Structure 1
């Protein structure tokens, strides 16, 4: 893995992009799981995969950070741009999920000023504040976390997490797209075992 290469003109190397992505994805999973578990009064795993990773937060945070850096000194513009951009990101992810899975994993239908249950004014307002939090202290905290462990440990951890995430995501994607496959596989296995016994 070319860890030291600059990542597409961001001025940041691949190593830190990968570390930040997983830290944001895990933090997003923790916050959303806690919030939804409190609301539902039972444990709710908000991740698509088995592991504690919500990649929408990893991608969203990094996209916001790199695109909105020029506005970092103007909090009003940063808030407005952050709210608009995060809402557009949420809309895009919802459209992709509808195309791939036939459903969206959130529903704002009960919220006022919602659009088809996938966007709502409350969330757009909140996204703006999240972007302010990202720039005022959260990204500094994420950078601090990513520099806590040795570089070699980060390389190994990043590589293992990427492989784990891709395998886990692929398994869940196949289960969601082809729910009949496990039953077919079980039937084939049973026929094979029965054939071997005879």
Structure 2
């Protein structure tokens, strides 16, 4: 499975790159938000330093945008458009499935429903250039610096820890939502009962 070719790369390199970009994305966003909030801010969904939206975005973005390497303007515009579209679709999906979006751009100028904004779109274009032209090659070198047998074990362990971390967070989120819904129904019942007795 690990050596199977997928989109011009092997599964091992894709999974390892996904993990690295997820951690890097968490670090960059947490550092930026900590600076903005003047206090340490964890921008991950769960406890661990992991933002899978960055992992998926970076890996998929690289695979799609790599043919545009060297064409900076086209790469920038395509990267900005695709990343903004991806961010919007993930935001809509989160609203429908979880009832909330894990980011909020309502205070940013030129935002749409607080899910996307011009500032992020501009940044996504630069990230597309950085990942495609400079960063991805270094990520691959980092992956290749470790023996593949150990790398596979490390990937499995990291993904297992992240999965448990996310399952606990989802359980707590849904448990809270169920309790809030239960409290709301009890309040409605008491209000209804108070009108008749």
TM range (shorter): 0.7 to 0.9
Deviation, 1:113, is 1.1
Backbone CA RMSD of aligned residues: 1.5
Moved more, 84-93 or 141-150: 141-150
**Secondary structure at 1:88 match in 2:** helix
In structure 2, C-alpha distance between the alignment counterparts of 1:32 and 1:144, rounded to whole Å: 24
In structure 1, C-alpha distance between the alignment counterparts of 2:121 and 2:177, rounded to whole Å: 38
Match of 2:175 in 1: 178
Deviation, 1:133, is 0.7
Match of 2:56 in 1: 59
Which of the numbers 74, 82, 85 marks the counterpart of 1:85? 82
Aligned length: 179
In structure 1, C-alpha distance between the alignment counterparts of 2:25 and 2:178, rounded to whole Å: 31
TM-score, normalised to structure 1, is 0.86
**Secondary structure at 2:101 match in 1:** coil
Match of 1:135 in 2: 132
Which of the numbers 2, 25, 31 marks the counterpart of 2:22? 25
1:95 and 2:92 aligned: yes
Moved more, 105-114 or 55-64: 105-114
1:75 and 2:76 aligned: no
Give yes or no for contact 2:30–2:43 (8 Å, CA) kept in 1: yes
Deviation, 1:181, is 7.5
Deviation, 1:180, is 6.6
TM-score, normalised to structure 2, is 0.86
Match of 2:4 in 1: 5
In structure 1, C-alpha distance between the alignment counterparts of 2:177 and 2:77, rounded to whole Å: 45
1:110 and 2:107 aligned: yes
* Structure 1 moving runs of 4+ over 4 Å: none
In structure 2, C-alpha distance between the alignment counterparts of 1:87 and 1:147, rounded to whole Å: 31
1:121 and 2:118 aligned: yes
Give yes or no for contact 2:26–2:43 (8 Å, CA) kept in 1: yes
Deviation per residue, 1:98-143 (Å, 9 max, x gap): 1122111111111111111111111111111110111121111211
Match of 2:41 in 1: 44
In structure 2, C-alpha distance between the alignment counterparts of 1:112 and 1:123, rounded to whole Å: 11
Deviation per residue, 1:20-79 (Å, 9 max, x gap): 000000011111111111111111111112211110000000110111122113111111
